[in-house]
Structure 1
Amino acid sequence: MFTTESQLATDAWKTVLKQIMEFGDELEDENEEFTKELLNVVVKVNDPINSQPPEGYFTIKKFKRCENHFLDPESRLNGTDYGNRIRSHFGFKIGRDVYSIRTDQIESVLVRLKRNSTTRRAVITIFDPSIDHYKDNVPSLVMIDIIIRKNRIYLTAVCRSVDYYGSWIQNFFALRGLLKYLSNHLKVKMGPITIHSVSAHVYKRNYKDVLNIKS
């Protein structure tokens, strides 16, 4: 396990990329692509508000779309419809693909936290075993947990797998957009974002790109 704590997201990202390149094990994955991989990488970003993406990583339009991704059920990020999974995918089924009620997990979390600010049950689920165990393309981010302590809102996310060079930054700012939304509605300060990546990896095609990142 590798853990790191940083004030800003980009600093944490660079630290983990360096660790993957130095200590990662080379692995050929299910798509026959070679990667360097570290298992169980945990990153805590203490100041998500002032975190900025690496220079040149986003256009302004793409950045705004990324921050809104988990809030918009029509949005897609890295080929995955996280907004739909979070806001309208799950619910009470009355048939194989027919729902009587669809669950907006963001609103459900807000209701729980407004009712009891110390709850440990404000959880958002993304992985759907009824379909994802039978698909090749499944969500990388599988769970988000929200907790309030001392008038600060903490977000913890679990990724089963993440392309650290190509996707981690996008995931972080999508999570920050969600945390900002919850913070505004609950009128509590934004706390840190913690992301646990079970498989944190870099694709071989990006090795040179990673080595060229300025520290």
Structure 2
Amino acid sequence: MVGTTQHFTYKPLYKPNQLLYGTGQTAVVTGWTLKQAIAKKLHPHEYAAIGQLYSPTRGISFLIRNLLANPHVRFLVVLNATKEDKNSGAGTCLLDFFRDGFEKGYSDTGRETWVIRSKITGYIDIEIAAEALEKLRKAIAYQEASSINEAVSYVQTYAAKDIEPWGIPLEFPITQVEPTVLPGVRYGHRIEGKTIAETWVKIIHRIKTTGTIRPTGYDGQWQELIDLMAIVTDEPEDFYFPEPNFLPCSKNFIQEYVSQILDDAPHQEGVKYTYGQRLRSHFGRDQIEQVIQKLIKDIDSARAVMSLWDVEDHEDNSSPPCLNHIWVRVIENELALTATFRSNDMFSAWAANAMGLRALQQHIRNEIANHSDYNLQMGPLITISQSAHIYSDCWENAEQVIQTQYPKICQKRDYKDPSGSFVINIQNNQIIVEHMTPGSGEVVNCYVGKSATQLYKQIAAACPALQVEHAMYLGTELQKAEIALSLQQDYQQDKSFILSSSKTKLK
């Protein structure tokens, strides 16, 4: 038998920088509770490793691989202590693997995988042998805890036991997904959509197309764009969820998440701040209420600012807030909200972030209406993500979203350009291009030339914010006008013409 003085070394194959290590035989999964909150109540010889688990579809497979590689681990304690744990279901799904097992199936991307028998969707890589998974299920004793103190008690009870490793370390191949990256702008990106769902798909496409692959600073890689501005113009009050829902969040999840932004929360041991806590009480002021009162007193104020970054976060916080700054502004009777994130998981978190912020924007608008004579309209929601990234373990899912949803979104585009429209004619042996405002159609500029090149250079210099599709359309029409002018043929915008000599149809 192994004596109580025996020390083991936990050697994880994956995510090594995200774990705390001891020399015992119990692995502790803390869910969304900070791993340090449990570690400080234990001695290193009482546990093998302590780590957090956020996602049942992304995290469990790595955890299982690490357990298979460390057969001296014979005990597992899973902490389900927070709203976030219940919302994500990762801990419950992990326990269901040990309780009820798994079966062959397919992931949401269509890849063959082991599916955990659980009400919570969870996957384990198909490359791991079923025999090894069954052996692991039988070898490890497990307990679920609902509080930090209960988890500590279970760990200490297990630490008093002597038990042999269940076998030799096992390692299985893992499929690596390497994306193809196209050249693109490194800094500053603008993406706009009517709904959060539409905008999210466009964001995922942009990052996966031109984002730079970099190390994350933890373990693994992410694909990243710097300073991505996303503008949502028409999100409905009760939020739009596509059917079937391809977003990485559900209505039930959002109901819980919105409270984390709108509501204050008492300090809870081992639980990180919430955004609502930072906004409502962290600095000794209710910043949301301050902003509401500021705008009621001065509806044109540019000082309606909320800050979530504390200067002490530089030294005293291992997980400082990603959302740092919120600015609210009323322009032409519309209340717009702009939020700045220093770091933003665009695949898994941005959609929920955006819905939470939209709920905050709606709350501010409603409170101003209830306590003043201002009946403001909801303006756009704008997020600025300074590091906009997709983690490598989501690349496969991101590609699936792009393949299934991005073409549909492109087909729905109405090509309305805020920069205006252009009317092209041929007069007096010259091409005349009138620039008109959107909506009213007022002529604000006129460009004259004999060649498409000459004209598109003028337009590009005067209108650098033209939408890509609009600019390409203009290039096509200007080239048609140049050909018609050189051949002395009639030209009509948006219509084909036939050369009288060759009857060749030009479009």
Q: Do these two structures clear the TM 0.5 threshold for a shared fold by scoring above it?
A: yes
| Aligned-pair CA distance for 1:49 | 2.3
Aligned to 1:184: 366
| Aligned-pair CA distance for 1:59 | 3.9
Larger Rg: 2
1:16-63 residue CA offsets vs partner (Å, 9 max, x unmatched): 111111111110021132000011100110112265245164343322
SS at match of 2:209: helix
Aligned to 1:23: 210
Change in CA separation of 1:44 and 1:133 when aligned onto 2, cut-off 3 Å: farther
SS at match of 1:49: coil
SS at match of 2:383: strand
1:95-147 residue CA offsets vs partner (Å, 9 max, x unmatched): xxxxxxx2000010011001000000000100111234432211111000001
SS at match of 2:214: strand
Aligned to 2:154: none
State yes or no: 1:117 paired with 2:308.
Answer: no
Q: Assess if the C-alpha contact under 8 Å between 1:71 and 1:83 holds in 2.
A: yes
| 1:67 alignment partner AA | V
Aligned to 1:104: 286
Change in CA separation of 1:133 and 1:192 when aligned onto 2, cut-off 3 Å: farther
5+ residue gaps, structure 1, are 91-101
| 1:138 alignment partner AA | P
Q: Assess if the C-alpha contact under 8 Å between 1:160 and 1:198 holds in 2.
A: yes
Aligned to 2:335: 153
Q: 1:173 aligns with which of 355, 359, 377?
A: 355
| Aligned-pair CA distance for 1:68 | 2.7
State yes or no: 1:41 paired with 2:234.
Answer: no
Distance 2:250 2:211 in 1: 31
State yes or no: 1:81 paired with 2:274.
Answer: yes
State yes or no: 1:195 paired with 2:383.
Answer: yes
| 1:8 alignment partner AA | T
| Aligned-pair CA distance for 1:186 | 1.2
Distance 1:132 1:146 in 2: 26
Higher strand proportion, which one?
A: 1
Q: 1:70 aligns with which of 237, 251, 261?
A: 261
Distance 1:60 1:18 in 2: 24
5+ residue gaps, structure 2, are 1-187, 370-375, 406-507
| 1:194 alignment partner AA | I
SS at match of 1:68: helix
Q: Assess if the C-alpha contact under 8 Å between 2:249 and 2:351 holds in 1.
A: no
| 2:253 alignment partner AA | K
State yes or no: 1:204 paired with 2:392.
Answer: yes
Q: 2:319 aligns with which of 132, 137, 157?
A: 137
Stretch of structure 1 that moved more, 43-52 or 148-157:
43-52
| 2:197 alignment partner AA | T
SS at match of 1:212: helix
Q: Assess if the C-alpha contact under 8 Å between 1:68 and 1:177 holds in 2.
A: no
1:72-101 residue CA offsets vs partner (Å, 9 max, x unmatched): 11299x9541110000000xxxxxxxxxxx
Distance 1:79 1:130 in 2: 15
Distance 2:263 2:277 in 1: 7
Distance 2:209 2:311 in 1: 35
Q: Assess if the C-alpha contact under 8 Å between 1:67 and 1:176 holds in 2.
A: no
Report 1 or 2 for greater relative contact order, CA contacts < 8 Å, sequence distance ≥ 6.
1
Distance 2:255 2:221 in 1: 32
| Aligned-pair CA distance for 1:149 | 1.5
Distance 1:7 1:198 in 2: 22
Q: Assess if the C-alpha contact under 8 Å between 2:212 and 2:223 holds in 1.
A: yes
| 2:380 alignment partner AA | P
| Aligned-pair CA distance for 1:151 | 1.4
Correspondence 1:2-13 to 2 at 5 A = 2-13=189-200
Aligned to 1:97: none
